[in-house]
């Protein structure tokens, strides 16, 4: 195997195998199919990167298709925002398509299915249809309308299209198999009545196709070769293929394959919850720089290159996991380090007076724009007798490890002179209002004198008081203080809002920033990376903090981890992690008598209270022969789902369904209990 082959991800392996088995390379075509019911967020960048990345790799076209089948939630505003975001990320689509373009074709195909006895109009309520679905262990019940005549179905469907009925009065269902073990195959809905104005088709239609019916057929119409989607659609693949079977001739047949979504710590990905933040005024809008939307990241100063690098680093996986948000911050920090000009700004100022510098004198000093960029050049910054420096850069008395300004010691002013602290002036409350110092006139940076080469340990940034430009600076931090803000059953995610996620201060910047434009990016030396907010005006500059120079949260995280470690006076070692305790219990579970097994089961349940479903998911792939570990995993899954009040995701459903077919009776019993509870 070549080195290139080793580096392929599993989707690329699928494509390479298809090409080897006779697929024409010119027939490759991909698509990114967002629903225009909200703004794209960081979670979508993975799907965008995969589809458009494959297009670039194979020189194949990529369609941008809007799956606009629900006029109750979709708007043109979202369409425009999605197009802007994808273009900003640097991707170009081949065709701009809309599922609504295919409404007539989908209607005609549905008529054909009705004529073939493969679809029918159901006049039951949604509740009645749901009740008849059955469970994973019990077949569903046929609708009393399942055997309507073809003529009656055609008449009702035509009248549905003509808006003769109210919403919910009728639906169209595919006639497949109410006993199919995959519950999605139990006569799924194809059409429903929605008397809403569509953002593109207006009031032309009052019936709208369901996603499962629309998606695969849209892929087929567009000659998509590989339909790539996230893991929750894996159970839908069987239905995707069934629908294709009804219309497929000898054209390109799309192949659905699934990858793991991008989940990010300290981040909410639910559009519904993000909308709540907007509607309740927690944030200023979808593009508030604290939001995870692409438009918000752009406004905050993130770069397309950094986001693409992040997606590339995360890679393409088959298993869901949570990526630490610090990786995203690392990627933008790395990119901005290469491209962002260095400037000086002071955000918490105290006045510094150089007592032996001539009053009224000013000089312009050369400053390097970016040491990482050889062609970035330099600029001139003004220097004078009175400067602003950061308050934290001065202490009257300090220990040996404080390398900034203190009384009696020397530091260098960046691009300027070496100064020595002489005294501090205080107000009536004891607050320092001025720092007086002296400078060495022969120590000017770059002058080549012996004095300029003198080694001092500290270097401070500064801004000349006479030339400083005041600016509003918005200091952003993570919106949530909890790593999984929506992962708590008994708590609302809003309880984990970080009260310090935004601080607005007035700082001072050097005069070279007077002519900045919105979204220009800079490194405020020694402070972090900042960009110009769109609210900024020449007479009222506004900067956003993009990211700090280093990861300050790395120091915080171990503290919270220590809080989860139980210590006793006799034993100060860390406890065994809960997930390891579950693994150990699984290894001996099947070898115990009933009474001891019940005791161990209770221990597994207690351990499961301290783990997340993401920690448990790797165990879903445990080998069949390791029945005990799979039983312990199933028990733990039940605890997590119950405690967090959530439904099993695609991976969990697959795990449960496989266990139902296992030969181990203990595992079957545990799986059967979950399948019944969650109607799988």
Which residues are the active-site residues?
A: 35, 261, 271
* Cβ-contact 568, 557 below 8 angstroms: no
Give the SS3 label for residue 568. coil
146 known ligand binder:
no
> Phi, psi at residue 506, to the nearest 5°?
-105, 125
Give the SS3 label for residue 363. strand
User: Which one, of 70, 71, 68, 78, lies nearest residue 98 by Cα?
Assistant: 68
439 known ligand binder:
no
* Cβ-contact 145, 190 below 8 angstroms: no
Distance in angstroms (rounded) separating the CA atoms of residues 65 and 90: 17
35 known ligand binder:
yes
| β-pair type (469-476, 463-464) | unpaired
Handedness of CA 532, 534, 539, 542 (dihedral sign): negative
Letter string b/e over residues 447-461, b meaning 16 or more CB atoms within 10 A of that residue's CB: eeeeebeeeeeebbb
Burial class (CB in 10 A: 0-12, 13-18, 19+), 15: buried
Q: Max alpha carbon distance in the chain (Å)?
A: 102
| Residue 106, C-beta contacts closer than 8 angstroms, at least 6 positions apart | 209, 213, 214, 217
* Cβ-contact 367, 415 below 8 angstroms: yes
Q: Quote the crossing angle between the two packed helices 650-660 and 665-677, to the nearest 10°.
A: 130
271 known ligand binder:
yes
190 known ligand binder:
no
> Phi, psi at residue 620, to the nearest 5°?
-65, -25
User: Which one, of 493, 468, 473, lies nearest residue 483 by Cα?
Assistant: 493
228 known ligand binder:
no
* Cβ-contact 279, 252 below 8 angstroms: no
Q: In what order do the strands lie in the sheet with 62-66?
A: 30-32, 62-66, 96-98
CA atoms within 13 A on the CB side of 669: 4
Query: Tokens for 422?
Result: 């002489």
120 known ligand binder:
no
DSSP string, 443-476: --TTS--TGGG---S-EE--EETTT-EEEEEEEE
36 known ligand binder:
yes
H or E stretch at 579: helix 578-589
CA atoms within 13 A on the CB side of 74: 24
Within 10 A of 462 (CB to CB), how many other CB atoms are there?
Answer: 26
Give the SS3 label for residue 209. strand
Letter string b/e over residues 317-337, b meaning 16 or more CB atoms within 10 A of that residue's CB: eeebebbbbbebbbbbbebbe
User: Which one, of 268, 269, 257, lies nearest residue 316 by Cα?
Assistant: 257
359 known ligand binder:
no
| β-pair type (255-259, 410-413) | unpaired
Give the SS3 label for residue 122. strand
DSSP string, 306-373: HHHHHHHHH---SS--EE-HHHHHHHHHHHHHHHPPEE-EESSEEEEEETTSPTT-EEEEEEES-TT-
CA Rg value for the chain: 32
User: Which one, of 335, 467, 454, 457, lies nearest residue 402 by Cα?
Assistant: 457
Distance in angstroms (rounded) separating the CA atoms of residues 677 and 130: 15
457 known ligand binder:
no
* Cβ-contact 317, 260 below 8 angstroms: yes
Binding residues: 35-37, 67, 211, 261-262, 269-271
Binding residues for ATP: 35-37, 261-262, 269-271
């Amino acid at each position: 195997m070549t080195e290139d082959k080793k580096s392929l991800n599993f989707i690329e392996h699928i494509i390479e195998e298809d090409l080897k088995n006779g697929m024409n390379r010119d027939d490759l075509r991909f698509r990114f199919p967002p629903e225009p019911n909200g703004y794209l967020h960081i979670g979508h960048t993975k799907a965008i990167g995969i589809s458009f990345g494959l297009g670039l790799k194979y020189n194949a076209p990529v369609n941008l298709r809007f799956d606009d089948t629900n006029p109750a939630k979709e708007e043109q505003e979202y369409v425009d925002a999605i197009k802007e975001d994808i273009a900003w990320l640097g991707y170009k689509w081949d065709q701009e398509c809309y599922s609504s373009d295919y409404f007539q074709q989908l209607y005609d195909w549905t008529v054909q299915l009705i004529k073939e006895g493969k679809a029918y109009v159901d006049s039951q309520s949604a509740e009645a249809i749901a009740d008849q679905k059955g469970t994973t262990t019990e077949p569903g019940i046929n609708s009393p309308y399942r055997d309507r005549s073809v003529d009656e179905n055609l008449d009702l469907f035509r009248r549905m299209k003509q808006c003769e009925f109210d919403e919910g009065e009728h639906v169209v269902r595919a006639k497949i198999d109410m006993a199919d073990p995959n519950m999605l195959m139990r006569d799924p809905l194809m059409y429903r009545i929605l008397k809403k104005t569509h953002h593109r088709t207006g009031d032309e239609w009052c019936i709208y196709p369901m996603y499962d019916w629309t998606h695969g057929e849209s892929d087929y119409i567009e000659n998509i070769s590989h339909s790539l989607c996230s893991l929750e659609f894996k159970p839908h693949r069987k239905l995707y293929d069934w629908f294709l079977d009804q219309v497929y001739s000898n054209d390109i047949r799309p192949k659905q394959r699934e990858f793991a979504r991008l989940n990010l710590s300290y981040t909410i990905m639910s559009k519904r919850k993000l909308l709540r933040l907007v509607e309740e005024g927690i944030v200023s809008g979808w593009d508030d720089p604290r939001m995870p939307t692409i438009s918000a990241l752009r406004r905050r100063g993130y770069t397309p290159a950094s986001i693409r690098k992040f997606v590339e680093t995360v890679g393409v996986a088959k298993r869901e996991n949570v990526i630490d948000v610090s990786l995203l911050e690392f990627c933008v920090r790395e990119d901005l380090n290469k491209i962002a000009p260095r400037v000086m700004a002071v955000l918490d100022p105290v006045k510094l007076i150089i007592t032996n510098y001539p009053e009224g004198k000013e000089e312009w000093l050369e400053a390097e724009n970016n040491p990482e960029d050889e062609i970035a050049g330099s600029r001139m910054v003004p220097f004078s007798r009175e400067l602003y420096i950061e308050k934290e850069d001065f202490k009257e008395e300090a220990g040996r490890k404080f390398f900034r300004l203190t009384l009696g010691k020397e530091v260098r002013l960046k691009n300027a002179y070496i100064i020595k602290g002489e005294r501090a002036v205080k107000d009536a409350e004891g607050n320092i209002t001025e720092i007086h110092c002296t400078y060495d006139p022969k120590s000017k940076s770059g002058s080549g004198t012996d004095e300029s080469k003198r080694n001092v340990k500290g270097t401070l940034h500064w801004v000349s008081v006479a030339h400083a430009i005041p600016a509003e600076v918005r200091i952003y931090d993570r919106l949530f203080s909890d790593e999984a803000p929506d992962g708590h059953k008994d708590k609302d995610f809003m309880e984990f809002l970080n009260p310090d996620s935004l601080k607005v201060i007035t700082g001072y910047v050097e005069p070279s920033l007077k002519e900045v434009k919105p979204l220009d990016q800079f490194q405020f030396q020694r402070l972090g990376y900042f960009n110009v907010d769109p609210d900024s005006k020449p007479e009222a500059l506004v900067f956003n903090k993009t990211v700090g120079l280093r990861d300050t949260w790395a120091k915080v995280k171990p503290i919270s981890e220590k809080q989860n470690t139980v210590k006793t006076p006799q034993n100060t070692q860390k406890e065994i992690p809960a997930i390891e305790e579950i693994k150990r219990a699984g290894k001996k579970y099947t070898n115990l008598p009933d009474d001891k097994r019940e005791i161990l089961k209770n221990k597994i349940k207690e351990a499961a209270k301290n783990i997340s479903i993401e920690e448990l998911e790797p165990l879903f792939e445990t080998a069949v022969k390791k029945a005990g570990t799979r039983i312990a995993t199933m028990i733990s899954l039940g605890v997590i789902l119950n405690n967090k009040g959530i439904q099993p995701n695609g991976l969990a459903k697959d795990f449960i369904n496989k266990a139902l077919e296992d030969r181990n009776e203990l595992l079957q019993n545990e799986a059967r209990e979950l399948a019944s509870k969650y109607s799988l």
